[in-house]
Each structure stands twice: as C-alpha cells, then as structure tokens.
Structure 1
Amino acid sequence: MNTADLGLPVDVPSTALFTDQYELTMLQAALRGGTGDRRSVFEVFTRRLPEGRRYGVVAGTGRVLDAVENFRFDADVLGFLRERDIVDEATLQWLSGYRFTGDIWGYPEGEVYFPGSPILRVEGSFAECVLLETVILSILNHDSAIAAAASRMSSAAGDRPLIEMGARRTHELAAVAAARAAYVGGFATTSDLAAGFRYGIPTVGTSAHAFTLLHDSERDAFRAQVDSLGRGTTLLVDTYDVTEAVRMAVEVAGPELGAVRIDSGDLLLVAHRVRQQLDELGATETKIVVTSDLDEYAIASLAAAPVDAYGVGTQLVTGSGHPTASMVYKLVARAHSADPKAPLEPVAKKSLGAKSSMGGRKWAARRHDAYGVAEAEVIGTGAVPAGLADRQLLVELVKGGEVVAREPLDAVRDRHAAARARLPLSATQLSRGDAVIPTEYV
C-alpha cells in the first residue's frame, strides 16, 4: 500500500505525523514510568448524535486500516521529531521500530450507529494504541459526518441518482475522502477524478458556464460539446435564457439529447417548464439534472418535480451543517502490569457533566422486533444475552497487527442501504428528533 492509495501527496512517507504532539509526550512518559507496556483497550464512540440526526453512519473504516498499516516512523519523521526536541532519544529509538501489533474490532463500514455505540475498539499495549488516537478520529469523524449527510440526501432523493460534486468546496485531500464517504452513503457518482482513480467510484462531468461563455454563441457551444461528447451528453441550459437554450439544445442534439442541467433559479418551477418544453419538442427521454447548493431539504422539496438526478456539492462536503461526528477515543480498560496474563480492569472518566464515560471492554448488539425492524442498540461489558448472541455488531478488522477485513467499496455501500432499511421508518424523516432507537446498557 503506498501513500497515493490514502489520498496523500506522494511525498508524505507515512501517516505517523497525522497526530497530536501529546500522543508522543504521553508515550514518552509512559515508557519512562514503566506503564507503556500495560495491555489496554481504547474505544471510539460518540456521546450524542448531531442535533436533529436520527442515526449515524460508520464511514472511513477502510481508510483507517490503511492509515494503521502506514503508521511508520521513518528517518525523515524521526529527524523532524529530534530537531524539534519533541521526545527524548529513548522514545525515538522505540518509535523507530513501531508497528501496531494489536487487535482492532469495529462496526463494519456502512453500518449505522447510535449514542454510545463502540464503533471501534483498539487493543494492545498502551504505547502502541495511544499513538493512533488522532489519525483514527480524524478519519472517522470526517467520513462519518459526510456519509450521514449523504445518507439523508439519498433517502430524500429516493430512486433518483445523486452526483457528488463538492471537490472545489473543500480541501483537495478531504474532497477525495468526501467522495468516498458520499458513495458509502448512497451517492451514485462523483465528479472528482482522484476519487475515481483511488476508489473505483464512477465519475461523471460535462461542462460549466465558462464553456458556453467561451464561444461566440450558445449554439456554437452546444454544437462543440455534442460533436465531441455525442448526443447523449448533458447540456447546461441556464447561462442565458433557459427556454431558448432548451429549444436550441434539442435542435443541435436532436431528441436523443441525454440530459439538460439547470443550475439556478426556482428549480421546482423551472424543472416543470423545462420538462414540458422537452416533451413538446419530442425529447421525451431527455433527462433533467439539477444542481445549485442543494441539501437534503431542497432535494426533498423537489420530490414532486420532474427531476431525474441531483448534483450536490457544498452542503455534502461540509456535512450539511454537521462537519464532524463528535467521536472520541477513550481508554476503557487496562491491566495493572505489563504481564500479558494480567486481567483487564475497567477505567472511565468520571468528571461532572456530559463528558463522563462508561468503562469496560464492550460488546454491542442490535435488537429487532418481530418484523425485523431495529428497536434498540444494546451495549454491555459482561456476557452477551443468549437472544443477542447472533446480533453482535463488532467484527474483527485487525488481528495481531495484520488487516483481516478489507472489502470492496460497493459491499460497504450495499451494507449501508440494508442497515438503513432495517431502521424504523421515522429514521428517514427530515424533521428534528432524537436517535431513532434507544441505547440500552446491560
């Protein structure tokens, strides 16, 4: 696996510096104090869903596995740490041989989650696990936020396909990750070629207003595009007068014109007028694609419009108002000594307010009703009740430092669609509300 597969510039040698300095200073102190080798369990979870969201979506797991594999301290990285005097020589020596050798369990990517769900569980020595906190959280928080927004938009769109087109609205590396997360959440295609190259996501794209403005007339622009891309192309019809542009588009391409795109105005009204005009011109199979700062609410408002596809950018790549999933990475159990046979003991933060957590190495299962609809997220630290033994959610992702659970992105996408379909119908409502099922601790 090279860094290009991670969406990283080729000159970034590893993911080891995708971390916060205090991970390394904690490591140094733990090694010096003799506690770094204690067997430990960290868990990723969120205490609450973003306001108004009914469920979360696990996304980014595949990227986490790549990041863990590429978490290496090579000579350049060690030189940087030494030059800045971030850790001492003994710690640098330890880091030079760093390889994660522990185990990671987690919800399979694409699965839904709720407050308290142990989305990821990282087990190993304290020293090797603590270093992974920031890179794991940065991936899961970003990708899960985008996937959740994408899932809501996909639900609002119904059977109409969604195009991810937000690359120009975010950081260039975040854009690749966002396209991947959007695909997990139900989007059909992306405009971002890097995402297509790295993850095999279908890509689409035709022209912008600049192409029309380049030409001496709109007809010349349409003719050039059709001559180059064929009659099945999508022509952008709102640079000047939409009605005139639609008429001209059909004249140039004929009734075989693939689609027209509308990027401004009252989309509901314009879509109806364009559909009527296309039908009157004999272009009954020509589709209508709408763009223009759409979110899940705008998409839902267009449900009755004769629209065939939606293109979404800014609102998607910013999580539609919630750019992070607010996940945390907490130590929940540790041994009293470095003895591999020492038993694990639960630990937890007990501060006042909303930041307390539940200690112990957890399992999670989802209880369903007689109709197969989810009714509760059940979490515990002891024995799994017999009725939930076959409903457990965590799967093994890394065993003894080796990744054991890579899978095609299409399988992840299909899993999410299936998981969402098993939630109560109210999960897809855009009205504000709490998590669609409760979290129960046993």
Structure 2
Amino acid sequence: MNSADLGRRVGVPSTALFTDQYELTMVQAALKAGTADRHSVFEAFTRRLPEGRRYGVVAGTGRLLDAVENFHFDDEMLTFLRERNVVDGPTLAWLADFRFSGDIWGYPEGEVYFPGSPILRVEGSFAECVLLETVILSILNHDSAIAAAASRMSVAAGGRGLIEMGARRTHELSAVASARAAYVGGFDTTSDLAAGFRYNIPTVGTSAHAFTLLHDSERDAFRAQVDSLGRGTTLLVDTYDVAEAVRTAVEVAGTELGAVRIDSGDLLLVAHRVRHQLDELGATGTKIVVTSDLDEYAIASLAAAPVNAYGVGTQLVTGSGQPTCSMVYKLVARAVSADPAEPLQPVAKKSLGAKSSMGGRKWAARRLDEYGVAEAEVIGTGPVPDGLAGQQLLAELVRGGEVVAREPLDAARERHIAARQGLPMSAMQLSKGEPVIPTEYV
C-alpha cells in the first residue's frame, strides 16, 4: 500500500468554516449555559431513500475522516469570526483550542444503507459534536448520491467499462469528489486528473472534436493522434461522417486500433453499424466507446449493442436526478454531565408528520435469509440479539479523536460490489420501487 492509495492529504486546508453559523452560535450559548460539555451522541441517517431508489450507497467516508482531522480554527479564521461578531470572546478562545476528541462509528464506505440506518454515529461533548454537523452532511449527502447513481449505472452496464467524465459539468472541487464517489459505486476510470492525483483513480482521455477540427482533414487529425499516442489510442469518429471516419481510422492506425468513440446520433444503431464495419475491415479487436448524455436507463437500453465502454458525465455528477440523499444529523442521546460514564438519556425530535426520529444510541445489523441474502435492516438501542451479533454494520472510524480506519479506496469499491451482491435480485431493477428490504426497529 502506498501513500496514494490512502489519498494525498498533505497540505489539506482547514475544514472548520465548512459549517453553518448556527453551529457556532449554539456552542456559544451552550458554553454560557454550562451544557456544552454534556456527553452527547449524534447520528446521521435518512428517513427515506430518494424516490424510487431501492438502496443507498455510503460514500465519502474517507473524505469525511480527512475533514474531521483537519477541522481546526487558525488565526485568520478566528479574526474573520471576531470582525463579523459571529461569536463572543470566550467562544473564540474555545474555538482556538478546538480539536475533535470524541469517537465516530459508521457504516464502512461502500456499504449499502436503508431508511433509518445509523450511517454515522458521532460521540463526545455536545459542543465538539455539533460543530461537525454541516461538513459531515455536506460530504455524505453529496458523495452518497453520486455513488448511488454510479451503482445503478454499474448494474446497467453489466460488466462493461464505465468512464467518469463529468468534470466540466460541475464545480471543480465537486468534480474530484464525484469521481471518487463514482469509483466507489463501480466506475473504472475518470477523465479528471485531480481525482487521479488525489485518490489514485485510473485516468483516461485522448481527444475531443476540437482536435479534429484543428487539422486540415480528419485523416491528418487521426495521424497526429496515432503518431503521438500509438495505435492503441481511441479515435473520435463522429465529427463528420461516421462510416468514412471509421474507414480512415483503420487505414491510419491499422487493425491494431484500440477503440473508436461515438458521441452522437442513435447510439444503438450506429454502434451496430460501426461494429460491422470494423469487423469487415479486419479490426475485430477494436473496441467501441459511447458517450453523449448517458444515464442508467440509456446504458440499459444499449445492452444489446456491441459496446465495450460507456462515458458518463452530467447525469452522474448530478446523481442522475437525485443530487442529495436528504441525510440529517440529529442528537439522539445526551447525559447531564461531561462524564462518559454518566447514563445517556435518549432524546428525539417529536415533530408532526414525517420529521420525527427515534432517540437512543443505536446499533444496526442486516438479517440474512437461509440463502445468505439480506432480508431486513434491523436497528435497535438495547442488547443486540444473539442471531445478529455477527451481522452488525457499524465499524469504528475515530477513537479519542484519532482516525483508526483509513483504507485504500479500492477496499470501499470492493465492499460495495459485495454488499450489492448480498441484496435480493430485485435491487438490480432500474424501475422505481420501494427499498429492497424493510427497516425493522427492535
């Protein structure tokens, strides 16, 4: 394992201002009231999955651990808070010394989740836990949405290659996070070099239509690319006439041409025609890559096409219509003092409608049927039943403020594949439906 496998964390800036102002004003008021140090438990969960989705995917955990580790207030930040009168002097003094010293447990990255799943449990003083709310939700809501979309696209692709190429369709920092989450969800490569650099994700890319238009002829463009990148490159063949471009591509690169890319038109029809033409020209090993505003439904519709890989951009980095998971971060238990040995009292919001929640520090386990397939997400606050002890889902991530669960990104990717395979087969359906297993509270 090398440093790149764990993500390049050198020079990561403080994440302390990736927060909402009311987190700091709550700390100020709690410090004044003498309740800031009360031992508390917060949990991140979602009350429902996005409409029609059958399972969720936990992603962003590795980024979250970096964010917690780098959550501290430097002099410039404290000056900003002082000049804006965001908090008072005693609170500024408290923030100046802040480092998270509590414990965090959570579903491992790549695991699937369901309504009510305690995806993350943060435990410590009220003040230190409440400060992390916004940055935790920012990361989990975004990355899990992208990973869920990627997972659905991975199912639709049926083992064919998937290329993440959405960097031009979102914020530059979001693009890096999206590429990472897509890799967890099943994508193979990314076009984004920052994501490759930071997270060691394989990167790919050759040329756009502009490169063809730059040259005096399509043949000149293909020749320049092959001379530079070799015969195994991917040539873009839909700038002008596809059939003529395919013929020229094979003439220039020979039958060793790596792949051709199609970015427009009726992809199903064109892919069949291109495959037939390549085979007739003797380029039987040349692959076909298709792009052009794909989503999981478009990918599924191309299952019968002779396509080897799909490039996906806009729909992936926007969660394929579901750009957030609607996760919330709620106080579920607290004590009357800072003593961790003090009994915790369950607390919960009791709103009208669908916003009420269940109090108490929770455990979660996935009950399996006789064939080893998941049949229920079981959540409780008391003793774990003997039959579920070996199926518990929460893993220790941070102990006493120290990260204890860093892992290579490939581990999360492999975990997701295994978790998805452990679900009922109906989880793989792209049609809208209810969560594939129920959530039971005990």
Q: TM-score range, shorter-chain basis?
A: over 0.9
| Equivalent residue number for residue 48 of structure 2 | 48
Q: Is the 8 A contact 2:123 2:129 kept in 1?
A: yes
Please state whether the residue corresponding to 2:100 is helix, strand or coil. Answer: coil
Q: Is the 8 A contact 2:365 2:377 kept in 1?
A: yes
> For residues 329 and 93 of structure 1, do their structure 2 counterparts lie closer, same or farther at Cα, with a shift above 3 Å needed?
same
Alignment of 1:401-440 (within 5 A): 401-440=401-440
One-letter amino acid of the counterpart of residue 168, structure 1: R
| Equivalent residue number for residue 189 of structure 2 | 189
One-letter amino acid of the counterpart of residue 42, structure 2: F
Please state whether the residue corresponding to 1:235 is helix, strand or coil. Answer: strand
Relative to the length of structure 1, the TM-score reads: 0.98
Q: How big is the shift at 1:6?
A: 7.6
| Equivalent residue number for residue 59 of structure 1 | 59
One-letter amino acid of the counterpart of residue 345, structure 1: Q
Q: How big is the shift at 1:7?
A: 8.7
| Equivalent residue number for residue 347 of structure 2 | 347
Q: Is 1:277 aligned with 2:277?
A: yes
Q: Is 1:364 aligned with 2:364?
A: yes
Q: Is the 8 A contact 1:39 1:334 kept in 2?
A: yes
Please state whether the residue corresponding to 2:396 is helix, strand or coil. Answer: strand
| Equivalent residue number for residue 209 of structure 1 | 209
Q: How big is the shift at 1:341?
A: 2.8
Please state whether the residue corresponding to 1:211 is helix, strand or coil. Answer: helix
Q: Is 1:331 aligned with 2:346?
A: no
Deviation track 1:100-123 (CA, whole Å, cap 9, x = no partner) reads 000000000000000000000000
Please state whether the residue corresponding to 1:226 is helix, strand or coil. Answer: helix
Percent identity reads 85
Once superposed, what is the RMSD of the aligned Cα atoms?
1.2
| Equivalent residue number for residue 91 of structure 1 | 91
Q: Is the 8 A contact 1:157 1:300 kept in 2?
A: yes
| Equivalent residue number for residue 22 of structure 2 | 22
Q: Distance in 1 between matches of 2:150 and 2:9?
A: 20
Q: How big is the shift at 1:40?
A: 0.1
Q: Is the 8 A contact 1:7 1:173 kept in 2?
A: no
Q: How big is the shift at 1:424?
A: 0.4
| Equivalent residue number for residue 259 of structure 2 | 259
Q: How big is the shift at 1:13?
A: 3.5
| Equivalent residue number for residue 296 of structure 2 | 296
Q: Distance in 2 between matches of 1:48 and 1:116?
A: 7
The runs of at least 4 aligned residues of structure 1 exceeding 2 Å deviation read: 5-8, 337-341
Q: Distance in 1 between matches of 2:207 and 2:271?
A: 19
Q: Is the 8 A contact 1:145 1:325 kept in 2?
A: yes
Please state whether the residue corresponding to 1:255 is helix, strand or coil. Answer: coil
Unaligned runs of 5+ in 2: none
> For residues 419 and 31 of structure 1, do their structure 2 counterparts lie closer, same or farther at Cα, with a shift above 3 Å needed?
same
Q: How big is the shift at 1:128?
A: 0.4
Q: Distance in 1 between matches of 2:154 and 2:371?
A: 24
Please state whether the residue corresponding to 2:245 is helix, strand or coil. Answer: helix
Please state whether the residue corresponding to 1:354 is helix, strand or coil. Answer: helix
Q: Distance in 1 between matches of 2:150 and 2:36?
A: 40
Deviation track 1:254-295 (CA, whole Å, cap 9, x = no partner) reads 000000000000000000000000000000000000000000
Q: Is 1:125 aligned with 2:118?
A: no
Q: Distance in 1 between matches of 2:240 and 2:223?
A: 16
Alignment of 1:385-404 (within 5 A): 385-404=385-404
| Equivalent residue number for residue 311 of structure 1 | 311
Please state whether the residue corresponding to 2:323 is helix, strand or coil. Answer: coil
Q: Distance in 1 between matches of 2:25 and 2:108?
A: 32
Deviation track 1:110-139 (CA, whole Å, cap 9, x = no partner) reads 000000000000000001000000000000
Q: Is the 8 A contact 2:9 2:66 kept in 1?
A: no
Q: Is the 8 A contact 1:156 1:299 kept in 2?
A: yes
One-letter amino acid of the counterpart of residue 124, structure 1: G
Q: Distance in 2 between matches of 1:341 and 1:236?
A: 65
Please state whether the residue corresponding to 2:375 is helix, strand or coil. Answer: strand
Q: Distance in 2 between matches of 1:339 and 1:437?
A: 38
Q: Is the 8 A contact 2:233 2:257 kept in 1?
A: yes
